[in-house]
Amino acid sequence: MEDLNIEQLISRLITAPSNNILREMSYCLIEAQDSDFDTLIATLFHPLFTLETWAWEVLSRDSRQWNNDEQECFDLFHNISNFNKKIILSNNDVHTKGSLLLPANTDIIDGVFEQFKKRNDENERFLSIIYLWFDNLSLLMREHIEFASASIIIYINERITSDIIMTDQFKIYLNELQDPCPLFTMKQVFYIKTCSFLLGEYLCSKPHDFPHNGQEILEYLAEDYTNIILIHSKTILSWSKDLLSCITHLIGLITACHLWIGTKEEILKMFMISDKTIYDYIESLIDILHHQTCHERNRPQLLNDESILNLVDILLKYDVINNDRFYLRIYRLQSKILSEKQIKKSNIVNKINKIFFYYLDQAWKSPLKKYNTIPIEELLEGLLTLSQYDTMKNPIADSNELQFLIEKSDEYPIIYDILWSLSFDIRIQAELRLNQTLKNKLESNYTNEQIQNIIYGIQWNLNSNNMQINTDTNKAKYDVMISYSHEDKSICTQLYHELIQKDFKVLIDLNDKHHNIMDAMVQAVKQSFTIIVCISKHYKQSNYCRAEAQYAFGRQLKIIPILIDNSYKPDGWLSYLIRGLSLIDFTKYEFSHGMQILLDKLKIPPISVLSTLVVRQPLQNVTNVSLSTLDSTDMCQWTPNDVQQWLIQNNLSQMTDCLSGLNGSYLIRLSKDIAKNSPQENLNLFQEHSMKKRGKDISLIDISRLQTLIEEHIQKPTTTKQWSPKLCCRMM
């Protein structure tokens, strides 16, 4: 194809658009898509700009009927649309794409809406062309969120909101969509699918000064939308392509509103209709998610453990899809839903460096501080959630990305909370202690009290080796200290009042106002004899709660764990901390019954069993077991090298020197000895041995985790090889 030909064709198309010219122009556009597309755009930018301007003007002013006699014109616009989609997905710079594809001014958009209003035929062919043009605008915004700030895009979405979404006609179409087998017109698809798609992509940018806010849009749509989800989640196998598109983009619009304004309790109540609960709505969304993943079958379920497991399986299948935007959404969902054990099965553990920190870097470099449609603040919120999983700390420690976070911390204070969460890991602690940039930041005084308290928390972790054990409980001023997340304040306040009525001296922080929260925590723990740990997902995710619980554990306070969250099962660091303790499940009983169990526990004094920790020298090495098979191999067969690999794999690298030379048999014996000894004896012996070898301390939490991991491995099914009975571990 010669350059002159396409320029001449475009010129003739504008001045005298005969059917032959229309056909030839279509042929040129089809042929062009198989050429070097980026070079083509650069070479023919000006004639293509003329073509795109002409197309918008035709759509805004042409009064033709787009009937069957003008098939060539109809075909040309389809081919221009396909050509434009390829421009959007090309490697051309953003400015070039915007210049070619965005309408020149608001008069063009006003003209399009005027043409749209003139047509009463629900299946007018003109609508299908507008459908394609607006779809491309949506795709352009999805690929390049910076266009959301373009004045013409803002104007288009203002018109869509006022002229289409917030109208009686849109409500009529939503009502028709509640039919179990809806029939679609072209206009209905344009309203529900195309306009929801475009507005949803725009609202993801969280616009300022938009005529309608997210809550108004949700209030207008919530009831009809919820009915649509509830009805059609039960008929997924019979969905048509149009129904799938409409529901998908309706969900996208509702999600964008949630991202814009947040998900508060009053917002969620909008989706509770008639005799249905929010759980019915969530169950329906799970069914739809399942369908889009497997496309095999629909299994309606109650929102119970079975459906949660089903959702977990779906999420784990989703994260192998090679799509950046999909990764972000799935990983954010995984980080909110999956347990510590389940997150290990997710690809996010292996991809956090390659994917997540790459996204952060790209968002940082973007003028809008966004990656695709997601602001850097939301990426950091996701990283904060992930950083609370101990499983994630090893790959983050290996990523060499801590410096990136430290450098950006003043601009995004949430990073300090991320660093606090990460600083519970011994490897990351060591790296942070050596980072002079962080040292300088931590020594600064911040006027923001919340940030300053987070910094106190980081400093506490970095200097936590001087923890002293509480050996004189007679000095305790309080019988009971209540440790809880302030998200759970209501039930914990009730607990406090019940205890003081029973004449217990109770310490609880109801105000959460301290100059230094870590100093306040230390004083509270030192003055208490027993600590009640109020377990919930909020508690597990709180860095402050973790520091408080671990400090109380280290000082050997009597710990009574109570479960107050019926949607959470203790995992991660919290499960290690309460291991071996009797958990009072307040979610299974009436409050009064749970209180009676608690009162009985408070009357029982703590019991210590004193014994001796024995660490023996290793026997001769046996055949080395590869790291890939350690999980399925009998621990008695492990060599000292296998033990070292296993410690590193399970985030216990701080113990590698201390336990060097021990094979699997002696590791099991060590676990038995730990179980016999008191926590103080274990701590003293481990620290003495560790200081000789490494000059560093080991915490009680590390010792508890070691014992738990050994016992968990022993209980697993194993692949047994031939080995000598003499290597079997016995109790001494």
- Three-state helix/strand/coil letters over 343-391: HCCCCHHHHHHHHHHHHHHHHHHCCCCEECCEEHHHHHHHHHHHHCCHH
pLDDT value at 298 more than 70: no
The pLDDT of residue 567: 78
Contacts of 491 (CB under 8 A, 6+ apart): 534, 564, 586
The pLDDT of residue 438: 93
pLDDT value at 580 more than 90: no
Query: What residues pair up with 375 in beta bridges, in sequence order?
Result: 370
What distance in Å separates the CA atoms of residue 709 and residue 705, rounded to the nearest whole number? 6
The pLDDT of residue 276: 75
Query: Would you state the structure tokens that stand for residue 499, as one six-digit string?
Result: 């205890």
From residue 83, how far is each of 40, 78, 98 by CA, in Å? 12, 9, 14
Comparing 1-15, 306-320, 509-523, which segment has the lowest mean pLDDT?
Answer: 306-320
pLDDT value at 612 more than 60: no
Count CA atoms closer than 13 A to 310's CA, side-chain side: 23
What distance in Å separates the CA atoms of residue 606 and residue 208, rounded to the nearest whole number? 58
Contacts of 164 (CB under 8 A, 6+ apart): 170, 191, 195
Q: Where is the domain boundary, 259, 287, 302?
A: 259
Count CA atoms closer than 13 A to 133's CA, side-chain side: 26
Comparing 220-224, 306-310, 325-329, 660-664, which segment has the lowest mean pLDDT?
Answer: 306-310
What distance in Å separates the CA atoms of residue 16 and residue 9, rounded to the nearest whole number? 10
- 539: domain range? 473-602
Looking at per-residue confidence, does 728 or 445 come out higher? 445
Parallel, antiparallel, or unpaired: how do β-strands 374-375 and 370-371 relate?
antiparallel
Residue 150 three-state SS: coil
What distance in Å separates the CA atoms of residue 404 and residue 349, rounded to the nearest whole number? 19
CB 521 within 8 A of CB 464: no
Signed CA dihedral, 266, 332, 283, 583: sign only: negative
The pLDDT of residue 418: 94
Mean pLDDT of 540-563: 92
The pLDDT of residue 294: 36
What distance in Å separates the CA atoms of residue 46 and residue 255, rounded to the nearest whole number? 39
pLDDT band at 53, cuts 50/70/90? Answer: very high
Residue 572 lies in a domain: yes
The CATH number of the domain holding residue 598 is: 3.40.50.10140
The pLDDT of residue 37: 82
Mean pLDDT of 373-399: 83
Comparing 462-466, 652-656, 680-684, 728-732, which segment has the lowest mean pLDDT?
Answer: 728-732
Tell me: do 98 and 29 sit in the same domain: yes
Q: Please name which of 87, 64, 67, 81 lies closest in space to residue 17, comparing C-alpha atoms.
A: 64
695: left (phi over 0), alpha (psi -120 to 50) or beta: left
Percent of the chain with pLDDT over 90: 32
Q: Which residue has the tokens 């929102």?
A: 303
Instruction: State which of 291-305, 505-519, 544-558, 605-619 shows the largest mean pLDDT.
Output: 544-558
Residue 510 lies in a domain: yes
pLDDT value at 121 more than 70: yes
pLDDT digits (tens, 9 = 90+) for 317-358: 555 555 566 566 666 666 666 777 777 766 666 666 667 788
CB 302 within 8 A of CB 277: no
CB 129 within 8 A of CB 66: yes
Query: Would you state the structure tokens that stand for residue 618, as one six-digit string?
Result: 């290793």
Tell me: do 170 and 199 sit in the same domain: yes
Tell me: do 443 and 489 sit in the same domain: no
Residue 633 three-state SS: strand
Q: Please name which of 349, 240, 236 lies closest in space to residue 299, comparing C-alpha atoms.
A: 236
pLDDT value at 724 more than 50: no
From residue 152, how far is each of 98, 103, 157, 192 by CA, in Å? 11, 7, 9, 22
Which backbone phi and psi does 584 adopt, to 5 degrees?
-90, 115
Residue 208 lies in a domain: yes
What distance in Å separates the CA atoms of residue 723 and residue 606, rounded to the nearest whole number? 43
The pLDDT of residue 632: 53
CB 93 within 8 A of CB 45: no
Mean pLDDT over each residue of the chain, to the nearest integer: 79
Looking at per-residue confidence, does 88 or 318 come out higher? 88
Residue 374 lies in a domain: yes
What distance in Å separates the CA atoms of residue 283 and residue 304, rounded to the nearest whole number? 9
Tell me: do 40 and 16 sit in the same domain: yes
Instruction: State which of 71-75, 248-252, 355-359 shows the largest mean pLDDT.
Output: 248-252
Mean pLDDT of 304-321: 46
Tell me: do 667 and 588 sit in the same domain: no
Percent of the chain with pLDDT over 70: 79
Comparing 49-58, 135-144, 273-282, 330-339, which segment has the lowest mean pLDDT?
Answer: 330-339
Residue 68 lies in a domain: yes
Residue 268 per-residue DSSP state: H
Tell me: do 675 and 559 sit in the same domain: no
Rg (CA), the chain: 32
Helix (H) / strand (E) element for 535: namely strand 528-535
Residue 618 lies in a domain: no
Tell me: do 482 and 558 sit in the same domain: yes
pLDDT value at 727 more than 50: no
pLDDT value at 531 more than 80: yes
pLDDT value at 265 more than 90: no
Tell me: do 251 and 347 sit in the same domain: no
pLDDT value at 233 more than 80: yes
The pLDDT of residue 328: 64
What distance in Å separates the CA atoms of residue 569 and residue 686, rounded to the nearest whole number? 30
CB 193 within 8 A of CB 245: yes
pLDDT band at 301, cuts 50/70/90? Answer: very low
The pLDDT of residue 46: 92
Q: Where is the domain boundary, 259, 277, 304?
A: 259
Comparing 388-397, 403-412, 535-544, which segment has the lowest mean pLDDT?
Answer: 388-397
The full length of the chain comes to 732
pLDDT value at 623 more than 60: no
Instruction: State which of 269-278, 299-308, 537-546, 601-610 shows the largest mean pLDDT.
Output: 537-546
Tell me: do 582 and 639 sit in the same domain: no
CB 495 within 8 A of CB 482: yes
The pLDDT of residue 610: 29
Q: Where is the domain boundary, 230, 259, 288?
A: 259
414-422 and 543-554 helices, crossing angle to 10°: 30
Residue 295 lies in a domain: no
Q: Give how many domains the chain has, as a whole number.
A: 4
Q: Which amino acid is at 411?
A: E
The pLDDT of residue 616: 30
Helix (H) / strand (E) element for 483: namely strand 478-483
Residue 519 per-residue DSSP state: H
Q: Which amino acid is at 100?
A: L
The pLDDT of residue 562: 96
Tell me: do 348 and 485 sit in the same domain: no
CB 422 within 8 A of CB 428: yes
pLDDT digits (tens, 9 = 90+) for 150-202: 999 999 999 999 999 999 999 999 999 999 889 999 999 999 999 999 999 89
What distance in Å separates the CA atoms of residue 63 and residue 275, rounded to the nearest whole number? 50
Q: DSSP readout, 153-209?
A: HHHHHHHHIIIIITSHHHHHHHHHTTSSS----HHHHIIIIIHHHHHHHHHTT--SS
Q: Which residue has the tokens 């590869």?
A: 626
Query: Would you state the structure tokens that stand for residue 519, as one six-digit string?
Result: 């100093």
The pLDDT of residue 353: 63
Q: Which residue has the tokens 């910076």?
A: 146
Tell me: do 96 and 161 sit in the same domain: yes
Query: 0.75 exceeded by the pTM?
Result: no
Mean pLDDT of 496-514: 86
pLDDT value at 28 more than 70: yes
Tell me: do 238 and 94 sit in the same domain: yes
Q: Please name which of 414, 462, 421, 465 lies closest in space to residue 438, comparing C-alpha atoms.
A: 462
CB 391 within 8 A of CB 344: yes
CB 392 within 8 A of CB 376: no
Which backbone phi and psi does 390 adopt, to 5 degrees?
-60, -30
pLDDT digits (tens, 9 = 90+) for 414-435: 999 999 999 998 889 989 999 9
Residue 41 lies in a domain: yes
